[in-house]
Structure 1
Amino acid sequence: MQEAPILDGMPDFHDTLEFLRLRDRRSRADVATAARISTSHLDKIVGNRITPGRNSFDKLTHAFDLDLDQRQHLQELWQPSRGLPHAEELRQRLTSHGVQADLDDLDARDVLAVYFDPFRTVLHGNRIFRRTVPGLAEADNNFSLWMFSPAARDCIDNWESEIPYTVAILRGTLGRYRDHPRARSLFRKLRATPEFPRLWDTTPMQVAYECRRLAPINLHAPWTNQPRSLSLAIGEYGESPDVLIAYGVFDTLAIAC
């Protein structure tokens, strides 16, 4: 049986199907039988890169052992790639909605707050956010790129456990927007970093979606030189479907104990 391929490129529906089959050491005939479709149909889907209809897609999805995030990822790869406005357009929308007053209020309450697009390009952030992520401008104001920078490695105590989670989030995001020029540009820049290619290539089906985050981030706060634990809540910004907002609350005792 052929070895499962390394999925080192942008997420792709057909490549992922073939990876899942070879990962499980199954023949196409076996997968087709489990999915209750013909082997010739599966050959056309994978070999000729034909997009299956909804009925065949649902059957194929259930032919593999996938968790909820993996099922969502495969469905998004099956669907057409999504579009996304430019970051500057999203920034202007937020400015017109008056988000700066909310950011200033959260600053006064010691709450980190940041608005970002699905690629984690920062659109607006309060002062607490900016001082928590030193060197963000050198990473194109993109939090995903910043996570693979020396600044992030110095700042985040549990960096080694955070970057696999970052890669898992990126897999879902890049899959959803895989044909977008900004997605492809971000992927090229990430592959030029020392750590991203190793993690991307060795965790082919580890995918996560941002709003389900539970674990805190452990930081060396640059402005106090004290360890702090940052708990994040991430959700969609109601006024714009292309914007996410994250709120962060610090808890020093969580690390001190």
Structure 2
Amino acid sequence: MKMRKAPALDGMPDFHDSLEWLRHRHHLSRESTAQQAGFSSSYLHRLIRNRTYPGPRVFTKLVDSFDLDSSQRRHLHDMWQPSLELPPAEELRQRLTGLGIQTHLDQLDTRYTLAVYLDPLRTVLHGNQTFHRMVPGLAEADNNYFQWMFSPAARDHIHDWDNEARYTVTILRATLGRYRDLPRARTLFQRLRTTPEFPSIWESTPMQVTYDRPRPTPIHVRTPGTDKPLSLSLEISDYGECPDVLLAYGTPALAAENTTLEHDRTG
């Protein structure tokens, strides 16, 4: 039996589309997939046609039918689970303000340490001056780091932007898998689709996801007054005092960075 062409994963992350893509990726028919997983092919047909979700036992057997790494298994599990909710960004900002986080941000500025509070969709809630110097033009990107990464300012500012953009897309895919039905997650995705480079990167990296914290490699940033890009290692963690908030730190800047930042402040 000749199999149909695999569906392009060009939209929001979706459990059923991902199953079909994986099946084609492994050159499996629905019949052979069902047989390998230990249930009837008619059940798999109904699952895909009616866009229903299997129980835990069948889900596990399906996942085991494909050669997935731990991140891909987690991503498929996220899409199998109900989409998560998320408070509005302004509500999260107000919670953080009530917790007095500005003092903490100001203290880190004195040590030239980048710090920023974000929601899971990477909307910037509060950031210190060091952070905002590293991401010029953030306001024009709706104060969203994902959108900023695909802005002209980021392409000018990030060294080796192509690789950084691909890495960012893998983080975005994991995030959208968890919040796929959230209206503002869908709005974010649609806005990104209008940028020149995003669609091709998104479509060329199907099922590539990243959950790693901290980042495996530094991000390299161009700054005025220096010939060599500055290396910035980031560590991202959940902010325990406020659910649905992430806290990202940049390692203390090197002496060369200190000089540049001080020049920016006084110049």
| TM-score, normalised with respect to structure 1 | 0.95
Q: Pairwise mapping of residues 165-176 of structure 1 onto structure 2 (< 5 A)?
A: 165-176=167-178
The structural deviation recorded for 1:227 is 2.2
Alignment partner, residue 122 of structure 1: 124
What secondary structure does 2:181 align onto? coil
Runs of 4+ in structure 1 deviating by more than 3 angstroms, as ranges, are 222-226, 250-253
Alignment partner, residue 202 of structure 1: 204
Identity value in percent: 60
1:194 and 1:237 map into 2 onto residues whose CA distance is: 34
The structural deviation recorded for 1:124 is 0.3
| 1:63-89 deviations in Å (ceiling 9; x for gaps) | 101111101100010011110000000
1:44 and 1:28 map into 2 onto residues whose CA distance is: 11
Alignment partner, residue 131 of structure 1: 133
- Picking from 89, 92, 116, the partner of 1:90 is 92
Alignment partner, residue 111 of structure 2: 109
Alignment partner, residue 33 of structure 1: 35
1:223 and 1:51 map into 2 onto residues whose CA distance is: 55
8 Å CA contact 1:115, 1:125 repeated in 2: yes
Structure 1 gaps of 5+ residues are: none
Of 212-221 and 60-69, the range deviating more from structure 2: 212-221
CA gap 1:36/1:95 in 2 versus in 1, 3 angstroms = same
| 1:148-197 deviations in Å (ceiling 9; x for gaps) | 00100111112111001110011011111011010010001000000110
8 Å CA contact 1:120, 1:142 repeated in 2: yes
8 Å CA contact 2:115, 2:250 repeated in 1: yes
Alignment partner, residue 160 of structure 2: 158
Of 210-219 and 165-174, the range deviating more from structure 2: 210-219
Q: Pairwise mapping of residues 73-88 of structure 1 onto structure 2 (< 5 A)?
A: 73-88=75-90
Q: How many residues align?
A: 254
The root-mean-square deviation of aligned C-alpha atoms, in Å, is 1.6
Letter in 1 for 2:154: A
Alignment partner, residue 259 of structure 2: none
Alignment partner, residue 57 of structure 1: 59
2:224 and 2:37 map into 1 onto residues whose CA distance is: 54
CA gap 1:222/1:174 in 2 versus in 1, 3 angstroms = farther
Letter in 2 for 1:158: D
What secondary structure does 2:53 align onto? coil
The structural deviation recorded for 1:39 is 0.9
2:18 and 2:147 map into 1 onto residues whose CA distance is: 25
What secondary structure does 2:39 align onto? coil
CA gap 1:173/1:252 in 2 versus in 1, 3 angstroms = farther
Structure 2 gaps of 5+ residues are: 257-267
The structural deviation recorded for 1:222 is 3.9
2:62 and 2:223 map into 1 onto residues whose CA distance is: 47
The structural deviation recorded for 1:252 is 7.2
8 Å CA contact 1:172, 1:207 repeated in 2: yes
8 Å CA contact 1:227, 1:252 repeated in 2: no
The structural deviation recorded for 1:225 is 6.6
Alignment partner, residue 193 of structure 2: 191
The structural deviation recorded for 1:239 is 1.1
- Picking from 221, 236, 239, the partner of 1:237 is 239
| TM-score, normalised with respect to structure 2 | 0.91
